[in-house]
Amino acid sequence: MTTASDLAQQAIDTINALKTLAENGASVPDDIQAQLDSYAVQVKDLEARLETQQDVSEVYRNEILSNSEFLGFAVEIINKIQALLDSGVINTMPVEEQRQLQETLMYITERQKNDDDYRKAGDPKPRSFEEYRNPV
């Protein structure tokens, strides 16, 4: 699949080749100058599209990381409920609901791990619910 970066690089290479050809000749024929101008416009368009795409990708990545943090809050509270069940403090939850709790915990934990794959070096670590409610 050809990316915007590939297309931009091809256009830049073509422009450079045409510029070299033009510099080596006494004069640039009109059709070559028109091609150079056309390529320059294409390069500017591709560079603008690439920058826009990078901006959009970063917005989506940040949203995914934000969702991952909120999934972490769910994991945190479900783990607390599970610990209360395991210790016997909560003993009135039906077995089927306990199973649903365990499976839900498994699903959202896996989803959070998948979302965390978008985390880059230097990104802040996900906060706990307490850190979220009481920022430093």
Q: Give the domain ranges of the chain.
A: 4-133
What letter would DSSP give residue 63? H
How much is the pLDDT for 29? Answer: 66
> Where does the pLDDT of residue 28 fall: very low under 50, low under 70, confident under 90, or very high at 90 and above?
low
Mean pLDDT (the chain) is 87
| Cβ within 8 Å of residue 124, ≥6 positions away | none
Instruction: Tell me the CB-side half-sphere exposure of residue 53, using CA atoms within 13 A.
Output: 9
Is the per-residue pLDDT at 17 higher than 60? yes
**Which is higher by pLDDT, 3 or 56?**
56
pTM of the complete model: 0.61
One-letter amino acid at 130 equals: E
How much is the pLDDT for 26? Answer: 54
Instruction: Tell me the CB-side half-sphere exposure of residue 75, using CA atoms within 13 A.
Output: 17
